[in-house]
Structure 1
Amino acid sequence: MTHLILVLDAAQRSALAVTRSLGKLDNIQIVTSDSSTFALAAASKYSQEYLQSPCPSAEPESYIQWLENICTIRQFALVIPVTEITSQLLLMHSSRLPHVRLAFADYNTVMSLADKYRLLEQAKACGVPVPEFTLFENAAGADASRWSYPCVIKPCLSKIFTPAGWIATSVKVLQSEQDWQRARTAAPYLEQYPFMLQEFIPGSGAGVFCLYNKGKATHFFAHRRLREKPPQGGVSVLSESVAIDPALKQYAQQLLDHVHWHGVAMVEFRITPDGQPYLMEVNTRFWGSLQLAIDAGVNFPALLVQHELGIAGGPAITEYRQGQRLRWLLGDLDSLYLYLKSAYPLAQKMQRVLAFFAPTAFFKTRHETNRWGDLGPGWYEIKTYVRQLLGRQ
């Protein structure tokens, strides 16, 4: 029996990783979709067909109507969104999408983790350490003169759904009351929607990547970011698989067990200089560096589909390769450009150039989009990159 799977958000690199992973399975056919005329994952040889949709962020009602129609006509065994907007949009309209099968927990469970206030309350209830925090319904109730600085302003939702579309929010570190006034002016949504004042936790970030099947943990993975875009912190452009920190794994499992999780999740922590972890947030979908986990031996998309559709898989994975690296070449090039434009000392800039052109661990590094066995996405990304570059000049 052949299973037809629809992979949404095909412009995302995580969607490409899903498409390549599932396209290699027996009796699986992949259809990709996005709102542009063509997209990254659609360029893969494992995408059998590409469907252009309305934009889920700008036209949510049209998007749901389109998906309702296409899934009534086509018999998809599974629909896989990879962004927060499409994931939540499909779950909140599940009654209108009876033919759409998702590998997720229900909407309330997802939102209990996606809503950062509800997340921290649940984490406290199951013994997971969290920063000190205070909830404000809106900016009118906030008295910044009484706050201790530095602190963090964190909207409860990173994406807010409104009748007019989605509002993207952001987290701000405040050093003074003046910073709060600037943040309030720059983010009008703070006047209407709830946010938290959160204790600032110094240190570095760390994450645990998890797969659950109906409340039971089945697989875990961890990596560290070696380079990011922008260089001061952002999207990973070079990452490496590492051993899972036992304490972080325990805390992630306590939290996800508590909510009886189903599907994938990325649990993010902040680690203080003295080694104390604090929960920051949970991403309830596939993450950006998904391909690294697959390369290291934990094929999350295939495992998820095998669980969901009852397809027999290979032997259970108990260990994965540590030291495996993943490089997003064009993202790394952008990161280098931003680094060279910055105020770093000349010696550090030269070291960064050397690291770009003469990378270490060469034989343990794979490129995220450029793959000899699937050249289409790499060429598509390069052509798109050049067009955008020329358009900016």
Structure 2
Amino acid sequence: MQGVGARAPRPTPYGAPVELYGRSIRVLLSGAEYSGGLAAVRALRSAGFEPWVADPVDGSYGALSRAAAGSVRVTDPRIDPLAFTEELVEAADRIGARVVLPGTEPALLALGEHRGLFPDDVAVGAPPPELTIAATDKQSLAQRAADAGFAVPPTELITLDDLRGGRTDQPYPVVVKPVRSELADASGLQRYEVVRARDPRELAAALEVLPGKAALVQPYLIGPIRTVNGVAWDGEVVASVHKLAERTWPLDCGVVCYARTVPIEPDVDRAARALLGDLGWSGLFNLQMISTPDGHHVIDLNPRVYHSLALAVDAGANLPAIWTALLLGERPPFSGYRVGVRFRSEEDVMALWGTFRAGRRAAALRGLVPHRGTSHAVLSLRDPAPTLNVLRRAVRVARRRGSPRG
């Protein structure tokens, strides 16, 4: 494991470093190779904590960020959960971290299973593994969501043999979901994304690549994507932020790349609180639904750091700081968030190009209009290194695509 030299805690525009027993609080966070993890690092620094990054890769967003005090190299929790945890235990002791936060589902599972390796004075943001398993089970989510008061798309577990034997009658197009986002194969956990299938041939191709050649299949619903994001503690939602997505990438079945905060819809918020209460969840969450005339249909729950986390933070709800404070035994006040704050990820360029090519040119051109105060997944003038890394990657991809092939 390699350590990078620490930078001294510094005051921020949001206040002085948080101190406990006469010293600033160091937080060790995994998952900062993703934009959501970068948002968490920046959010913790803005609240006065001293974030450190635990990386399974070189040159992650978080490690490059000026908000990080330093970084340590660790094993990928997908490959070796025990080694990952042991290295975090050693790193937390060496740098004096008071809190360890998992930023991905594999990290949640690893730390939940092996949290007993940490000393009692280190707070670990991972519930027991059975809670994470329940929260990431997409099949049981449908029933839990229905019990909480949400609408749920008709959901069927289909195997490749079922499809070939004609034992399914789902109308096309359909959405094909792995039973969990992270599934085990011979090399460890692998992440599988949700895809759209327009016909039996595409459904068969989607099933073929999944472990067990099985997936959850739902009708492809058309409607705006609404999410409830927040922090829960022992099943109680401590803070919630509602957002409405305007674009995703890929367009037909992808990650939110343009969104804005919207007022809390009481019925939706009550149902979300009931769902998180049923799970007994503690930590961050991102609950996704598609709104149709028939209701708000729950389509996914991410019980972790999520892609558009920067939007909640920039709207005034510093969810990572609230989570950290709860782990330290504090109950921070939450006074709500600003409505109308916008979010744009770097993938939105592709979404706009796809919208333009699909014939909706006026909508694509309107999407190019900048809005003051827009939150970004990576871009930050105060913290430019992660953005420069995105640009370098884009240049490398463009050169590979443009190089002659012999």
The TM tier, using the shorter chain, reads: 0.7 to 0.9
Q: CA deviation at 1:373?
A: 3.1
| Aligned counterpart, 2:309 | 290
Is the Cα–Cα contact under 8 Å of residues 98 and 123 in structure 2 kept in the other structure?
A: yes
The one-letter code sitting in structure 2 at the alignment partner of 1:271 is S
Q: CA deviation at 1:5?
A: 0.8
Q: CA deviation at 1:140?
A: 3.8
Distance 1:368 1:35, change over 3 A: same
The one-letter code sitting in structure 2 at the alignment partner of 1:15 is G
> Which secondary structure state, in structure 2, belongs to the residue aligned with residue 77 of structure 1?
strand
| Aligned counterpart, 2:394 | 385
Is the Cα–Cα contact under 8 Å of residues 38 and 52 in structure 1 kept in the other structure?
A: no
- Candidates 128, 135, 144, aligned match of 2:166: 144
- 1:376 and 2:388 aligned: no
Is the Cα–Cα contact under 8 Å of residues 343 and 377 in structure 2 kept in the other structure?
A: yes
- 1:167 and 2:217 aligned: no
Distance 1:196 1:353, change over 3 A: closer
> Which secondary structure state, in structure 1, belongs to the residue aligned with residue 108 of structure 2?
helix
- Candidates 92, 105, 110, aligned match of 1:89: 110
Distance 1:163 1:251, change over 3 A: same
Q: Write the distance in 2 (CA, Å) between the matches of 1:204 and 1:84.
A: 26
| Aligned counterpart, 1:262 | 282
Is the Cα–Cα contact under 8 Å of residues 32 and 54 in structure 2 kept in the other structure?
A: yes
> Which secondary structure state, in structure 2, belongs to the residue aligned with residue 147 of structure 1?
coil
| Aligned counterpart, 2:265 | 245
5+ long unaligned stretches in structure 2: 1-19
TM-score under structure 1 length normalisation = 0.84
Distance 1:18 1:177, change over 3 A: closer
State the Cα deviation string for residues 240-275 of structure 1 (Å, max 9, x = none): 111122222121111111222211111112222x14
Is the Cα–Cα contact under 8 Å of residues 8 and 33 in structure 1 kept in the other structure?
A: yes
Q: CA deviation at 1:62?
A: 4.4
- Candidates 97, 100, 105, aligned match of 1:76: 97
> Which secondary structure state, in structure 1, belongs to the residue aligned with residue 32 of structure 2?
coil
- Candidates 321, 344, 354, aligned match of 2:338: 321
Q: Write the distance in 1 (CA, Å) between the matches of 2:347 and 2:171.
A: 34
| Aligned counterpart, 1:123 | 145
Q: Write the distance in 1 (CA, Å) between the matches of 2:250 and 2:218.
A: 24
| Aligned counterpart, 1:132 | 154
The one-letter code sitting in structure 2 at the alignment partner of 1:291 is A
Is the Cα–Cα contact under 8 Å of residues 128 and 255 in structure 1 kept in the other structure?
A: no
State the Cα deviation string for residues 14-58 of structure 1 (Å, max 9, x = none): 1111111111334x3211122222221222222111222233334
5+ long unaligned stretches in structure 1: none
| Aligned counterpart, 1:225 | 245
- 1:102 and 2:124 aligned: yes
Q: Write the distance in 2 (CA, Å) between the matches of 1:168 and 1:178.
A: 23
Q: Write the distance in 1 (CA, Å) between the matches of 2:191 and 2:384.
A: 33
The one-letter code sitting in structure 1 at the alignment partner of 2:399 is L
Q: Write the distance in 1 (CA, Å) between the matches of 2:250 and 2:203.
A: 23
Q: CA deviation at 1:339?
A: 4.4
Q: CA deviation at 1:69?
A: 3.7
State the Cα deviation string for residues 254-313 of structure 1 (Å, max 9, x = none): 1111222211111112222x1412222210002111111111111111111111113574
Q: Write the distance in 1 (CA, Å) between the matches of 2:287 and 2:240.
A: 11
Map residues 178-189 of structure 1 onto 2, 5 A cutoff. Answer: 178-185=201-208, 187-189=209-211
Deviating more after overlay: 243-252 vs 144-153: 144-153
The one-letter code sitting in structure 2 at the alignment partner of 1:327 is R
State the Cα deviation string for residues 92-132 of structure 1 (Å, max 9, x = none): 34345567643243221221120111222333444443233
- 1:31 and 2:31 aligned: no
> Which secondary structure state, in structure 2, belongs to the residue aligned with residue 304 of structure 1?
helix
Q: Write the distance in 2 (CA, Å) between the matches of 1:227 and 1:199.
A: 20
The one-letter code sitting in structure 1 at the alignment partner of 2:384 is L
Distance 1:308 1:174, change over 3 A: same
| Aligned counterpart, 2:7 | none
- 1:157 and 2:176 aligned: no
| Aligned counterpart, 2:234 | 214
Q: CA deviation at 1:74?
A: 4.2
Q: CA deviation at 1:153?
A: 3.7
- 1:19 and 2:41 aligned: yes
| Aligned counterpart, 2:8 | none
Is the Cα–Cα contact under 8 Å of residues 149 and 175 in structure 1 kept in the other structure?
A: no
> Which secondary structure state, in structure 1, belongs to the residue aligned with residue 351 of structure 2?
helix
> Which secondary structure state, in structure 2, belongs to the residue aligned with residue 227 of structure 1?
strand
Q: CA deviation at 1:176?
A: 4.2
> Which secondary structure state, in structure 1, belongs to the residue aligned with residue 36 of structure 2?
helix
Task: Report how many residues are paired.
Answer: 377
Deviating more after overlay: 53-62 vs 33-42: 53-62
RMSD: 2.8
